[in-house]
Amino acid sequence: MARDLPERDERQSTVTTETSRQHSDKTGLLHRRGYLKLAAAAAATAGLAGQGSAASDDSDVVTLDPGERRVVRLDDGETFENVIFDQRAAGAAATIVADGTNWTIRNVAFRGEFGHRGRALGVADTGGGTSRIENVYMGDGVEAGIGDRRHPQFGIWVSPEHAGHIDFDRIYVEGAHDNAFYASAPGSNANGRRGTVRFRNCYAKDNWVAGFRLSRGVVDNCVAVNTPAGRDGRPLWVWNTDEHDGRVEVYDSDFVAGDYPYAMDIGRDGGRCEIYVEGTQWRGEKRHHPGADVRYVDGGGNGTNATDRVPEGCPTSVDEVFAGSNTITAAYDHTIELAGQFGYRLEVDGEIVPASASRRYLSRGEAYGDDWAEWWLSGSEDARTTWHYTGEITSLDVSPYDGATDVRSITIDGESVDPSRFDDRPARNTLEIAGQCRYRVEVDGEIEPAADHARWLTEGEAYGDDWAEWWLSGSADARTAWEFTGEITSLELTDYAGETAVRTLAVNGEELDRAAYVPDREHTLELAGQCRYRIDVDGEIEPAADHARWLTEGEAYGDDWAEWWLSGSEDARTVWEVTGEVTSLDVSPYDGRTDVRTLSIDGEPVDPARFD
C-alpha cells in the first residue's frame, strides 16, 4: 500500500546524505548523526580493513551492541573481506565507506535488520581506477520506526565523486527504503564525475523508489522484483545524463513490477536518456518518460515474461556468502532434520537458514524468513529437509500434506524429538486504536484483524503475518481492533489528513502512553544577517539540505545544539531542521556588529528575547 515518492532532483537529494570526504573537509561520506563513537568504532575494526588484503580462511563475526553504528572505511588499494556484521540488536547498523581507488569489498554479510537512517554501503572510486564489490548479502531488510518513509535508506549508494569504474557482482539487497543499487548521481548530477558501474548477477527485492538506478553503466543478468510482502519501487530506473554523455546497457535481466506500474522507468524530466536492451524480460509497463529525450535501442530477445529468480551464485542468506566455510556452520547453534509426509511450520527465537543440501529447493520469503520456516514433505524416500538455527525453537506445528501425516523422524542435533512438546499456543492479545491517524504496528508473533473488523481489511494490503498498516478517519466510528500473539515490537502513529488525534490506544483494555508513539513534530528555524548564535533544543537539530555542505557535525552542531555565525552579506543565511522545542537561543555580535535580518521558526518571526 506504500506509494512511491515523486521524482526529485538528485542535485538536491545527495547533499545531505553523502559527500566524499576527499572533496570536502566539512562532511564525511556518510552524513548522519548516530556515529559519534566513530573513533572507538574505527579502533574496534582495525585490522579488518588494511593495506592489501586482510583475509583469513575463516570469516570474522563483528557483533554490534544495541544502538551501535559501526563504520568501516577503505581507501586506495584496500580490501575488506570475509566479515559477518551481526546487527540483530535493536538500533544496530554497520556501514562500509569506500572511496579512493582500486579497493575491494567481498564476502560480506549483514545479519539482522539495518537499524540506522543512513546506508549500508557508500562508495566511489575517486581516482579513476577500477574497484569491486562481490558476494555480499544484504537481505534481512531494515528496522521499522526509524526516520521517515525514506529511512532507513539501507542499500548501496554511489556518490557523485565516483570517477572510475565499479564492478558489482553477486549482491543481494532486500527491503531498502531509498533504492537498492543507487548509482545514478555520477552520470546525472551537475557535479557528477562520470564514473561507470557494472551490475552482474545481482538481485533486488522489495526496495522502495528503485531496485537498480543508474545513468551510465551496465546491468547484466540481474533481477529486480516487487512482491506483496514488501514495498514497491521501480525495478529499473534509468536516469538522464543531463550533464554528460553516456548510456545504460541491459542484458539478460528480469524486472517484475508487481503492483507498481512501471517495470522499467526510462528517463525523467528535462534531459537526454539513452538505453540499449537485449535478452531482457519485464512484467509491468516499460515507460519512456514523456518529459525526457529517450533514445531506446532494442537489441532483440526482449519480452514481457519476466520471472522472479535469483541469479546463480548470488547469495540468498548469510550462510550462502560463505558456503563451505566451517565458520558459518559454527555460527548456528543447532540443526533440526525432518523426514516423512507432512506440512510443518517452525519458529525460533534466533535465526534459521536451510542447510546447503536443502537450500536449492527453498526460497527466502516463501519457505523461510529470519526466524521461521514453513514447508512440506512429500513422503518419498528422499523427503527430508535440514535447517540450521540459533536460539531455541519456540513453536513447531505439524499438519497433513496431501491428506496424510506420516512423521518418520524429527531430530534436533541428532536426537529424536516429539513435536507435541512445542505445542504451547501463545496467548492472544488485543490492540485497539481509535481516532484520526495513520499507524503501523509490528509484532514478534502474528497479527490479524478482530472478527468485527476483518471485512474492511485485506491481507497483504492492510496487514501481513507480523504487521498491520492502516488509517482512521476521525469519525465517531473510526476504530480498529487487532488480535496478536507475542509482543509489539514497533508502533508508529502519524497524521491522517493533516491531523493526529488518538482517542484510544490500548492493549487488552489498558491504555498505552500515546506520547511514546507519536513522533516529534519537525520545525524549521531560519536566521539571516550578521551575528553569532547558539541554539539548544530538547530534540535533535541538523542543517537543512542546502546548507549541510558548509556545516561540520561536531564543529558547527551536535545532536541537540548548533553554534555558527553569519557574515552580513546578502547571502548570509542558515536554515536548521529541529525536532522538539528550542530551549535556548543566544545572539551575539559578529565582527563587532549584530544585525538580525531574519529569525523565524516555521516561517513565523520570533524575538530571541523570548528564549532568555
The predicted pLDDT at position 18 comes to 32
Inform me whether the pLDDT recorded for 19 exceeds 50: no
Question: How many CB atoms are located within 10 Å of the residue 325 CB?
Answer: 16
Give the rounded distance of the alpha carbon of 63 from its chain centre: 19
Inform me whether the pLDDT recorded for 38 exceeds 50: no
Inform me whether the pLDDT recorded for 572 exceeds 90: yes
Which band of pLDDT confidence, cut at 50, 70 and 90, is reported for residue 307?
very high
DSSP string of 244-258? S---EEEES-EEE-T
What is the pTM for the complete model shown? 0.49
The predicted pLDDT at position 424 comes to 55
The predicted pLDDT at position 612 comes to 66
| pLDDT over 90, % of the chain | 56
Higher pLDDT among residues 359 and 388, named by residue: 388
Q: Whose CA is closest to 27, among 611, 602, 551?
A: 551
Inform me whether the pLDDT recorded for 357 exceeds 70: no
Average pLDDT, stretch 1-13?
Answer: 37
Cβ neighbours for 17, distance < 8 A, ≥ 6 positions apart: 30, 31, 32, 118, 119, 153, 157
**pLDDT tens-digit readout, 492-529:** 988 888 788 889 999 999 999 877 787 666 789 999 99
The vertex-490 CA angle with 488 and 494, nearest 5°, equals 125
Segment of 27-41, 298-312, 363-377 carrying the highest mean pLDDT: 298-312
Would you state the cell numbers that stand for residue 251, as one nine-digit string?
Answer: 542484458
The predicted pLDDT at position 241 comes to 78
Which band of pLDDT confidence, cut at 50, 70 and 90, is reported for residue 180?
very high
The predicted pLDDT at position 147 comes to 65
Would you state the cell numbers that stand for residue 306, as one nine-digit string?
Answer: 519476466
Which band of pLDDT confidence, cut at 50, 70 and 90, is reported for residue 313?
confident
**pLDDT tens-digit readout, 212-253:** 999 999 999 999 999 998 888 999 999 987 655 678 999 999
* Start-to-end C-alpha separation, the chain: 47
Inform me whether the pLDDT recorded for 14 exceeds 60: no
Segment of 209-223, 326-340, 482-496 carrying the highest mean pLDDT: 209-223
The vertex-2 CA angle with 304 and 445, nearest 5°, equals 110
Give the phi and the psi of residue 155 in degrees, each rounded to 5. 65, -170
Which band of pLDDT confidence, cut at 50, 70 and 90, is reported for residue 56?
very low
The predicted pLDDT at position 15 comes to 27
304 touches 263 (CB < 8 A) = no
What is the H or E stretch that residue 13 is in? helix 10-13
506 touches 575 (CB < 8 A) = no
Using the Cα atoms of residue 591, residue 595, residue 601 and residue 602 in order, give the sign of their dihedral. Answer: negative
Inform me whether the pLDDT recorded for 575 exceeds 60: yes
Higher pLDDT among residues 31 and 122, named by residue: 122
Inform me whether the pLDDT recorded for 466 exceeds 90: yes
**Bridge-based pairing state of the strands 130-138 and 104-111:** parallel
**pLDDT tens-digit readout, 522-542:** 789 999 999 999 999 988 899
The predicted pLDDT at position 356 comes to 59
Cβ neighbours for 200, distance < 8 A, ≥ 6 positions apart: 167, 168, 169, 170, 218, 220, 221, 222
Inform me whether the pLDDT recorded for 610 exceeds 50: yes
Average pLDDT value for the chain: 84
Q: Whose CA is closest to 119, among 145, 150, 144, 149?
A: 150
**pLDDT tens-digit readout, 114-128:** 988 889 999 999 999
Cα torsion 264, 268, 274, 279 to 10°: value is 0
Using the Cα atoms of residue 291, residue 295, residue 298 and residue 299 in order, give the sign of their dihedral. Answer: negative
The predicted pLDDT at position 244 comes to 55
Inform me whether the pLDDT recorded for 149 exceeds 70: no
The predicted pLDDT at position 584 comes to 92
The predicted pLDDT at position 397 comes to 87
**pLDDT tens-digit readout, 392-433:** 999 898 888 888 888 888 999 888 888 777 655 567 789 999
Which band of pLDDT confidence, cut at 50, 70 and 90, is reported for residue 331?
low
The predicted pLDDT at position 148 comes to 66
Domain boundaries, the chain: 10-298, 333-422, 428-516, 522-611
Distance CA 156, CA 123 (A): 8
Query: Distances in Å between the alpha carbon of 480 and those of 346, 460, 472, 485?
Result: 30, 17, 8, 17
- Answer whether the bond into residue 152 is a cis peptide, omega within 30°: yes
Higher pLDDT among residues 338 and 271, named by residue: 338
